[in-house]
Amino acid sequence: MKINVKIMPKSGVLDPQGKAIENSLKQLGFNKTGTVRQGKLIEIDLQEKEKDAIKIVDEMCQKLLVNLIIEDYEIIANKED
């Protein structure tokens, strides 16, 4: 089973990469662009049932993948695989 982990900076946390993208888009003429936030997506393939896979990936997030002080995360099970 493939699991995706979407990781984004918490609201209110400085996001210099997102700000740089936002400014560049405006310089390229995309003037209606609002706030841009940059995060990351991690895809993990596990040989587990969905419920167990989500629990394992949540533990991975808590221990390594996510900086819980400045980042939020969402676990998304890819049911197509």
Per-residue model confidence as pLDDT tens digits over 31-73: 999 999 999 999 999 999 999 999 999 999 999 999 999 999 9
What pLDDT sits at residue 80?
Answer: 62
Measured distance CA(69)–CA(52) in Å, rounded: 26
Q: Six-digit token pair at 79? A: 């049911």
Q: What residues does each domain of the chain span?
A: 2-78
Higher-pLDDT residue of 11 and 80 is 11
Judged by DSSP in three states, 44 sits in strand
Q: CA of 38: how far to CAs of 2, 11, 15, 77, in Å?
A: 22, 12, 7, 21
What pLDDT sits at residue 79?
Answer: 73
Measured distance CA(38)–CA(22) in Å, rounded: 10
Looking at domain 2-78, its CATH superfamily turns out to be Phosphoribosylformylglycinamidine synthase subunit PurS (3.30.1280.10)
Asked if 62 and 68 touch (Cβ cutoff 8 Å), the reply is yes
